[in-house]
Amino acid sequence: MIDIKFLRENPGIVKENMKKKFQEEKLGLVDEVLELDIKRRESITEGDELRAARNVLSKEVGQLMAKGLKEEAEAVKEKVTANANRLSELENIGRELDEKVTEIMMKIPNIIDDSVPIGRDDSENVEVEKFGEPIVPDYEIPYHIDIMKAFGGVDLDSSAKVSGNGFYYLIGDVARLHSALLSYARDFMIDRGFIYCIPPFMIRSDVVKGVMSFAEMDAMMYKIEGEDLYLIGTSEHSMIGKYIDSIVEEESLPHTLTSYSPCFRKEKGAHGIEERGVYRIHQFEKQEMIVLCMPEDSMDWYHKLWRNTVDFFRTLDIPVRTLECCSGDLADLKVKSVDVEAWSPRQKKYFEVGSCSNLGDAQARRLGIRRKGESGKGFVHTLNNTVVAPPRMLIAFLENNLKADGSVAIPEPLRPYMGMKTKIVPK
């Protein structure tokens, strides 16, 4: 959510930003919110004038009563009563206007960074850089589910009976590999100075509305029936929510946290074969990183965060690339975002394994996360990035470390989490 003062002073910039995001249908919201804002400020001004008048009238009543002029005092009291009734009416009007303004402001997209490429959707995202040499071996790389089945490592038939499509059982070495990747990611981020945290896996609706747009909420979140609770789609939700309605001391910034959680997503729509198996699923686990920082530091942190993910994947011999998200692919709260994609030797292309986002002060403004210090008062900036999200990441790991004999090599950094095994072999 952008600052109403900024919108008031720069309606043209806000509208141009909507056009860059190909959201022309929202242009009318700017004029609508400005009209409501004028009415809201007029009601505040009238209320202030009535309060000032009430004080004068109250003194006048006292003076008249002291002089024994009861009839005149009663007449003034009637004015005080009418004044109070109008104030009560204005307070109700003000609350209604506040709610309407907030509702509209939450639909207006955040101002994107000038460096964001302009494009309509993810097909126009821009490759930034590649890390590592993408290799296609001279032997066949099977479909990821077939690789897992060779190790007795996955059971989708049973999970379909128990939970439906989009769920899985991981078993044996594959399950151990899954846990090893998360444990290694945790320690990798701790070694980079991040504080480890396990957050709540359910959050209230006021937190949901604070961390994401309405469109994202409808497409992603599972609601707990009969409760004001949602299952998180990523630990970023509850990690940022941790700071709701708080004031952060400027000298304590930045706050750098890395969190583990299961994640739950609706993942609506039909998917091709490459997005089946354990690629696009309703339940997965993830190691995340979030940062709260000063506004002037947020772009530096943005680049540090995506670099952490790149470095993590390279320690596991997995080639990756970064892909700058274009304007039309950015969610409404994001200022700038980059996807990290891993190389698939089977598909001979890259696929998404994580996303890094700078949200400016949008989440902080919605959630009331303020800062104070030498520079004055204001809102913090928030950022988030995926370290690793298995079992999707397992696809990249298995394909890139699969050998001709069907075994999978375990890179050295992962071996302490795999009982010092150098490889796992098919059954």
> Block means of pLDDT (10 residues each) for the chain, length 427 residues?
91 97 96 93 87 77 74 76 84 90 92 96 95 94 95 94 92 96 98 97 94 79 94 95 96 97 81 69 94 97 97 96 96 96 96 95 96 93 96 93 96 97 94
CB distance 401 to 317 below 8 Å: yes
Q: Which two three-digit tokens encode residue 367?
A: 């959630």
What angle do helix axes 27-66 and 11-20 make, rounded to 10 degrees?
150
Say if residue 191 is exposed, middle or buried (CB neighbours under 10 Å; 0-12, 13-18, 19+): exposed
Strands, E assignment, 59-109: none
Rounded Cα gap, residues 240 and 354, in angstroms: 18
Strands, E assignment, 205-282: 222-223, 230-231, 246-249, 255-264
Nearest to 332 by CA among 287, 289, 362, 355: 362
CATH architecture of the domain 4-105 equals Orthogonal Bundle (1.10)
CATH 3.90.79.10 is the classification of domain 122-424 = no
C-alpha distances (whole Å) from 249 to each of 78, 238, 310, 369, 377 are 49, 20, 31, 11, 10
Q: What is the pLDDT of residue 278?
A: 86
What angle do helix axes 70-105 and 27-66 make, rounded to 10 degrees?
160
Q: Where along the chain do the CATH 3.30.930.10 domains lie? A: 122-424
Q: What is the pLDDT of residue 47?
A: 85
Nearest to 401 by CA among 137, 129, 131: 137
C-alpha distances (whole Å) from 282 to each of 235, 265, 364 are 15, 5, 28
Q: Where along the chain do the CATH 1.10.287.40 domains lie? A: 4-105
Check residue 234 and give left, alpha or beta (phi > 0: left; psi -120 to 50: alpha): beta
Burial 304-319 (b: 16+ CB within 10 A, else e): bbbebbbebbeebebb
